[in-house]
Amino acid sequence: MPVKRKSRTLSEVGCELFKSVNMFAPSDKLNRMNSWTEIELTPPPSPSNQNRTASTGCLGYKNFNLKKVFMDLMTTDFDRKLEENTITMRKAAKKLISYLYNKENSIPYYTNNAVTNLVVLILSDGEKYLTKQKVKHNIHFYLRLAERAMKQKDHQTAILIKTALLNHNITRLKIELNKGDKKIADELNYNYGGFRDCHAKHIRHFFDKYEMINKDWEEKGIDEEWIPSAMVLHMHTNRNKSYTKAFTRIGKYPKDLIQKNDTLIKLQKEYYKAFFLKKDAKLTKIYDTKPEDLDIIKKISKENQSKNLTQTLFNLSCNVKKVTANAKKNWNLAKKKSNALIWCN
């Protein structure tokens, strides 16, 4: 009985967006292509084992590598893209965290691009609308990617994907997760916190690491394998500065807050020295591409005469097929909720 392969989850436009910036054509367009077929699946055989491939010579296949064929059958497109994107997103996280020291104003721009592009890739294939089931497959893929990033200490990628999945245009669809995906989502919430506390758990873990575990980081350097979220650190750095100014104005000296700020600045400098000039630290197109430049966004904006990106994303969400929330009788209520969120923001 032939081995059944999992269906392709990541779209072709998605494959492009997860590539490093300098790998794109000069035209800066999102070309349709699939690059994973070039990946070597198995390491080269050791000299002592090189003759084993001839064991099928009696069948007339002297150069037939059974191990490689087995790996081809067992490794799906889903698994390959998961592995490839884990690597590229980790490289991008390294580059982004290095910007905290000298290009901190660019972090909100790159973060907004990445979150919006992820929402687009979950709700579409980059060119056309999807059904509820395909959106569910996409959510599964990105939850698995976030789980791998979290386990490999790439907290920037994990929190970025978590933020995208909690976008109103995805949650309004009320897509029920399977047990495995629900477990991953709960683990992400437990480890990082949420919007209400501004991911305070991640900040506590960050300071605990360098104030309790790696106390000698100023002498031995930072842990380059542990990549914090640039998005969260940038947000809390600005908040701490504002609080410090406010307390100082009313005649109080917030000693602990000032010490935290000083520690943050020192650590930002260390991450800058560690990653800014490294060749393996590269932003992916998912950070660098403006959502407005995607074909699907241009198409929806033209069809619905959308005035802004928020409205365009809502229209994209409303075009997901076979979803109860998108039934015509529910459109008015959905629009009211979406407009309320726009005003709240």
Where are the extended beta strands (E) located within 38-96? Answer: none
Q: Is the dihedral of CA 247, 251, 254, 259 positive or negative?
A: positive
Nearest to 7 by CA among 121, 129, 119, 136: 136
Top-confidence residue, 12 or 94: 94
Instruction: Give me the percent of the chain exceeding a pLDDT of 90.
Output: 45
Under the banding of pLDDT at 50, 70 and 90, the label for residue 32 is very low
- Segment 182-191 mean pLDDT: 95
To 10 degrees, the CA torsion angle through 95, 100, 105, 108? 60
| pLDDT over 50 (residue 298) | yes
| Residue 47 CB neighbour total at 10 angstroms | 7
Tokens of residue 115, six digits: 């979150």
Confidence at residue 153, expressed as pLDDT on a 0 to 100 scale: 96
Top-confidence residue, 277 or 19: 277
Could you tell me which residues are beta bridge partners of residue 131?
321
Tokens of residue 269, six digits: 């400098």
Confidence at residue 233, expressed as pLDDT on a 0 to 100 scale: 92
Instruction: Note the helical H segments in 103-131.
Output: 107-123
| pLDDT over 90 (residue 20) | no
**For the chain, domain boundaries:** 7-26+65-201+276-327, 202-275
Q: What is the CA radius of gyration of the chain?
A: 23
**Burial of residue 231, with CB atoms counted within 10 A of its CB: 0-12 exposed, 13-18 middle, 19 or more buried:** buried
3-state secondary structure of 240: helix
Greatest mean pLDDT range, 136-150, 218-232, 297-311: 136-150
| pLDDT over 90 (residue 34) | no
CATH of 7-26+65-201+276-327 given 1.10.840, 2.20.25, 1.10.10, 2.40.40? 1.10.840
Top-confidence residue, 143 or 25: 143
Under the banding of pLDDT at 50, 70 and 90, the label for residue 271 is very high
Under the banding of pLDDT at 50, 70 and 90, the label for residue 340 is low
pLDDT digits (tens, 9 = 90+) for 191-246: 998 878 888 899 899 989 988 778 888 888 899 999 999 999 998 888 877 777 77
Q: What CA–CA distances, in Å, run from 10 to 5, 76, 136?
A: 14, 12, 12
Which residues, other chains included, contact 293 with Cβ-Cβ below 8 Å and sequence gap of 6+? Answer: none
Question: Mean pLDDT, the chain, as a whole number?
Answer: 80
